[in-house]
């Protein structure tokens, strides 16, 4: 990241793009073999999540030209991929069509939501680093390389604005799916549900807090980080 040479940056970007292509192809092949989208097993979900993270990362980088965002997002993608290595690669069971519809909707919406949250997480970390430097007046190398507080805060807000409603819808469709699976609305495992409620509450606070009371800057960044830690926690509980 402290490299200045455009070649290195282009090369790194190219590698990520290449990875995305391979991932796309791999997900495509797997889906055509299993006959359903990549959302039935934890492994598939992890792969799909990593894919969406890179897609959203490319979109934000392209739209907002934020230098070095990749340095914070790509390690996360790597982390998700690393987890997926240890998960079972077996194809999942395909439920009957009506339930399948809700499952597809639930998983897809949630995954896009999580991918957006991962960008908010990266933006939050970058915000805290940059904010710390400006506040303490110790302006290191990162100060010059990283974007302004305004841009990072704005990015945090934008991706949460996308992610939170999607996650909420994902949560709702998930509940419907559960109900369709012949289970009562709130009868499922509390240990699995509570983290989700936590995630929803944290992002809800960041999302509505900004609108209502002007919650922004450091607190919004901290919220986005905390929220994503909860996401990772709930993911492990789901596995």
Partner 1 sequence: MTSGPNLVLVGVNHKTTPVEIREKLAFSQVKLEASLEQLVSSPEITENIILSTCNRVEIYAKVENTDRGIQLLQDFICDYHGISRGNLDQYFYSYCDNQAVEHLFRVSSSLDSMVLGEAQILGQVKDAYSTARSFSSTGMVLNQLFEKAFNVAKKVREETGISERGVSISSAAVELAKKIFEDLENHSVMLVGTGEMAELAAKHLISYGVKTVYVASRTYERAAALAQTLNGCALDFESFKEEMHRADIIITSTAAPTFIIRKEMMEAAIQKRKNKPIFLIDIAVPRDIAPEVNELENVYLYDIDDLQNVVNANMEERQKEAENAMDIIKQEVTKFNNWFSTLDAVPTIVEMRNRAEDMRAFEVDKTLKNMDHLSSEDKETIQQLTQSLVNKILHKPTINLKKKTQSQDGHIYLKAIRHLFHLDD
| Residues of this chain that bind partner 1 (CB under 8 A) | 4-6, 130, 134-135, 137, 139, 143-144, 147-151, 213-219
Which is nearer to partner 1, 20 or 221 (by Cβ)?
221
The burial of 45, by beta-carbon neighbours within 10 Å (0-12 exposed, 13-18 middle, 19 or more buried), is given as buried
Instruction: Quickly list H helices, the chain.
Output: 6-34, 42-64, 69-85, 97-136, 141-145, 149-180, 190-213, 218-238
Cα 196 versus chain centre, distance: 14
Which is nearer to partner 1, 117 or 127 (by Cβ)?
127
Q: Tell me which residue of 105, 229, 101 sits closest to 172, measured CA to CA.
A: 105
Shortest Å, Cβ 163 to partner 1 = 22
Which is nearer to partner 1, 60 or 84 (by Cβ)?
60
Shortest Å, Cβ 222 to partner 1 = 11
Which is nearer to partner 1, 135 or 238 (by Cβ)?
135
Which is nearer to partner 1, 32 or 137 (by Cβ)?
137
Shortest Å, Cβ 217 to partner 1 = 5
Shortest Å, Cβ 220 to partner 1 = 9
Shortest Å, Cβ 134 to partner 1 = 6
Phi, psi of 198 (to 5 degrees): -60, -50
Structure tokens that stand for 173 in this block: 């469709």
Q: CA angle 193-198-202, nearest 5°?
A: 150
Decide: 50 and 19 in contact? Cβ < 8 Å: no
């Amino acid at each position: 990241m402290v490299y200045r040479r455009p070649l290195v940056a282009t090369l790194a970007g190219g590698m990520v793009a290449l990875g995305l292509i391979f991932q796309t192809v791999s997900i495509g092949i797997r889906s055509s073999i299993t006959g359903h989208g990549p959302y039935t097993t934890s492994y598939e979900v992890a792969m799909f999540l990593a894919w969406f993270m890179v897609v959203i990362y490319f979109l934000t980088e392209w739209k907002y030209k934020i230098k070095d965002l990749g340095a914070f997002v790509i390690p996360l993608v790597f982390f998700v991929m690393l987890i997926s290595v240890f998960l079972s690669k077996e194809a999942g069971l395909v439920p009957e069509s009506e339930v399948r519809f809700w499952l597809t909707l639930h998983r897809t919406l949630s995954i896009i939501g999580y991918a957006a949250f991962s960008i908010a997480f990266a933006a939050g970390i970058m915000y805290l680093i940059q904010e710390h430097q400006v506040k303490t007046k110790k302006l290191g190398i990162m100060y010059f390389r990283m974007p302004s507080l305004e841009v990072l805060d704005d990015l945090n807000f934008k991706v949460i604005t996308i992610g939170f409603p999607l996650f909420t819808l994902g949560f709702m469709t998930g509940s419907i799916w559960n109900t369709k699976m012949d289970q009562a609305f709130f009868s499922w495992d509390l240990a699995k549900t509570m983290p989700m409620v936590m995630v929803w509450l944290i992002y809800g606070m960041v999302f509505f807090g900004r609108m209502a009371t002007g919650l922004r800057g450091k607190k919004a960044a901290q919220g986005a980080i905390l929220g994503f830690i909860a996401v990772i926690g709930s993911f492990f509980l789901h596995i």
